[in-house]
Structures are given as structure tokens and as C-alpha cells.
Amino acid sequence: MTRPALTAVVLASLAAWAGAQGPTTAADKLRLHRANRTLLTDLVGSGVRLAAADQPVTRAEACQQTARAVGLAVRRAAEANETDRVAELADHFEALVRDGLVPVLTEADAVVPRESPEGVRLRAVRAGASADLDATEAALPAGELRAKLAGLRERLK
């Protein structure tokens, strides 16, 4: 149930993001194409891993990898001072964490014994997701986007 919803969120985010691109020069188009190609490759790979995941922890790992890829794209856009791209990608990152990663982690917590080897893996996924969220939030300017990500922190604990 969560997997199709997460896949739909990822694909809808990707489609909206790709449609929002509007470079004006050939150099901008080439730069965005390169950045988008890298992100698209990461997202497709993560989507395939997520679709193939049949265990809760494996799904959580795949979802965290997807969030990490989008978070990294946000951070790169912030470093390049691409404010429109930062805003667009940060919104997608927030939706992916809120509607994808948090529910997958919650579902896994309900069925995976805490002290089992899978429980250890799940805690590592949660810690990695929290670190990714912190790094992405730190790259954003103060404001609404940063506040949204800060609000997700408690849900990842």
C-alpha cells in the first residue's frame, strides 16, 4: 500500500519538477540537463529498488536513498545560488520525507523487533535519514522551507 503511494509521489514530484524548468540560454539548458540527468538516474534507480523491496527495512533503505538523492540535489542547488531550483526541490524533498520515508519507517517500526539485526539496520536508516535532513535543512536559507524540514525532524526520531 505504501509502495505505490511512494512511487506515485516520486513520479509526480519528478514530473512537476521537470516541467518547472525554464532555462533561457543554451548554457543554462545544458547545465540543467546535466544536473537533471544525474538526479533522474538516481531517482529511477531508487524507484526500481523500492519497487523490488519486499521487506520493510529494505523498503526503508530504498526510500532513504531516494530522499538522500533529492536532498543532495537541494544542497547542490543551494551552493549554486539557484533559488528557484532550491525552492522546487526542497518542496519535493519535504513531500518525499513526509509522505514516503516517515510512513515507511513507521510501518517498519511496527513489525521489526528493535534488537534484531533488521532492527539495527532500521535504526541506521533512521539515523542516516536524520543526518540527510539536517544537512539539507542547513543548506536552506531561513524561512518557510527550512521550517517545514525542521518540523519533520521529530517524526524521524
String of DSSP letters for 1-27: -HHHHHHHHHHHHHHHHHHT----SHH
Q: Is the pLDDT of residue 19 over 60?
A: no
Where does the pLDDT of residue 14 fall: very low under 50, low under 70, confident under 90, or very high at 90 and above?
Answer: low
* Residue 136 domain-assigned (yes or no): yes
pTM of the model: 0.79
* Residue 13 domain-assigned (yes or no): no
* Residue 89 domain-assigned (yes or no): yes
Split into its structural domains, the chain has a count of 1
The reported pLDDT for the residue numbered 124 is: 96
Contact 60, 104 (CB under 8 A): yes
Residue type, 97: V
Residue 23: helix, strand or coil by DSSP? Answer: coil
* Residue 22 domain-assigned (yes or no): no
97-108 per-position pLDDT tens digit: 999 999 999 999
Exposed, middle or buried by CB within 10 Å (0-12, 13-18, 19+), for 43?
A: buried
* Residue 21 domain-assigned (yes or no): no
* Residue 96 domain-assigned (yes or no): yes
Rounded to whole angstroms, the Cα distance separating 91 from 136 reads 12
